[in-house]
Amino acid sequence: MRLTLTRTLTTVTAALGLGVLAACSGGQEAAPPASISSSPPVTSSAPASPSALPTPSDSLGIPPGASPFSGLPGGEGKPVLAVKIDNTRAAQPHAGLQAADLVYVQEVEWNLTRLLAVFNSSIPDVVGPVRSARISDMDIIAPFGRVAFSNSGAQTKLLRVIAQANLYDVSATRVYNAFRDDPGRPAPVNHMADPRLLLAAAPDAEKARDIGLVFSEDPPAGGTPVSKVSATWPSSGVSFTWDKATGTFIVGLNGEESRSSEGGPQRAATVVFQSVEQTDSGYGDRYGGRTPFIQTVGEGAAIVLRDGRMWSVTWERPNREEGTRFTLPDGSPMPFAIGQEWIVLLDDSLSPKIT
C-alpha cells in the first residue's frame, strides 16, 4: 500500500504521541519505493522538548525591510530573479546558490530533479550551472509577479508559453552576453550566468512582494525532533541534516553533501516537503522522457522543518496568482525561520524518510 506524505507523518508522529492533520489531497494507493520509509523517534541528540520552546513573537510576518521569501534583510524594494539550475552530481559545486532566498526542488524527466532558485536580498557574481525551463516553472513563478526568469533555453512549444507568460525572459537565447561556458565543467552543466547582467536586461522586473510566507525568530510550540529528512527518486535525491552548531539544515544532493563554489555546503533555515499531485504535462524530451506537471494550485499536506524539529501542516493556494499559505493544525500560520528556505515539491505517491 502506498505511503503518502500524510500517512508517513501519521505513523511517525503517532509513535511519539503527537497528532497529525490529515491531508487535503492524496494519490492512489500502491507500493512505495523501497528507499522511502518511516523511522523510529529521535532520542538523546534531539533539540529541547516542545514545552521548552517559545511561541512565535507578536512580530510574526515579514520583518521590516526584509525579503518576503526568506526574511533576510535588504530584500524590500529590490527586483526578483528566478534561475533554473541543474541538480545532478556533475553540476556540483553550485555557484551562487548560497545567495538565494528561496530554492524549489522539482521533478523533471527520468525521475531527475532540478532547482529553481529565487534571488532577492543578495545577488551573487555568478550563478549556475543554468539549465532549461519546464512548464511547471510558469505556475511556481506566477505569484512573484512579473519577475526576471533565466534558463538555458526550452523546447520550441514551451518557448511560446514563456513568451506569453507574465515574466521577463532573460534566458541564454535573449541575454547571451550574460552567459559563459565554464571550461572546468562538462557540457551541458557548464552554462554559467552573471545575475547582474540578467537583471540589467529586465530593468522593470517586479519588486519582491508577499507570496504567503511568514517569519519568526521563534518556532511555534510543539513539533517532532528530527535529525535528518530526505526524499528519494529513482534518479535523484535530496536530504536535510540538522546541524545544531549552526542552527541550520545541511543540504544533501544526490547521495552526498552539497558543495558550493563559495565553500561549504548549502544550508537551509527552513525546509518544506510539500505533497503535490503530478500528471503528464504533455511535454517530454527527444528520448521519450515525460515531463511531469506539478500542481501547485490547490491544497494538501506538508511538513515543515526548522530548529531541528518537524511540524505537520497543510498548504493552500487558491489560484495561480496567489501565493501559498502554510497552516498549523490550530489554524495559525506556520512561521518560517529567517534564512534560506527550501521547498521540495514531492509527488503525493512518495514519502520522505524521517530520522
Q: Which residue has the cell 565554464?
A: 182
In this structure, the strands spanning 102-107 and 341-347 are parallel
Contact 268, 341 (CB under 8 A): yes
Cα–Cα distance between 283 and 193 in angstroms, integer?
26
CATH of 81-200, one of 3.50.90.10, 3.40.50.800, 3.90.1150.10, 3.40.50.150: 3.50.90.10
Q: How much is the pLDDT for 31?
A: 31
Cα–Cα distance between 249 and 252 in angstroms, integer?
9
Cα–Cα distance between 209 and 323 in angstroms, integer?
10
150-205 pLDDT tens trace:
999 999 999 999 999 999 999 999 999 999 999 999 999 999 999 999 999 999 99
Sorted by sequence, the CB contacts under 8 Å of residue 190 that are 6+ apart come out as 129, 181, 182, 183, 184
Cα–Cα distance between 86 and 322 in angstroms, integer?
27
Contact 79, 149 (CB under 8 A): no
Provide φ and ψ at 30, rounded to 5°: -160, 180
Q: How much is the pLDDT for 1?
A: 28
Q: How much is the pLDDT for 38?
A: 31
Instruction: Identify residue 229 by its one-letter amino acid code.
Output: V
Q: Where are the domains of the chain?
A: 5-61+212-354, 81-200
Q: How much is the pLDDT for 55?
A: 40
3-state secondary structure of 271: strand
Q: How much is the pLDDT for 60?
A: 79
Q: How much is the pLDDT for 3?
A: 34
pTM of the model: 0.86
Give the CA distances from residue 248 to residues 181, 298, 340, in Å, rounded to whole numbers and listed in that order. 32, 29, 9
Sorted by sequence, the CB contacts under 8 Å of residue 60 that are 6+ apart come out as 214, 215, 216, 333, 335
In this structure, the strands spanning 335-336 and 214-215 are parallel
Q: How much is the pLDDT for 59?
A: 59
Which residue ranges of the chain lie beneath pLDDT 50? Answer: 1-4, 6-58
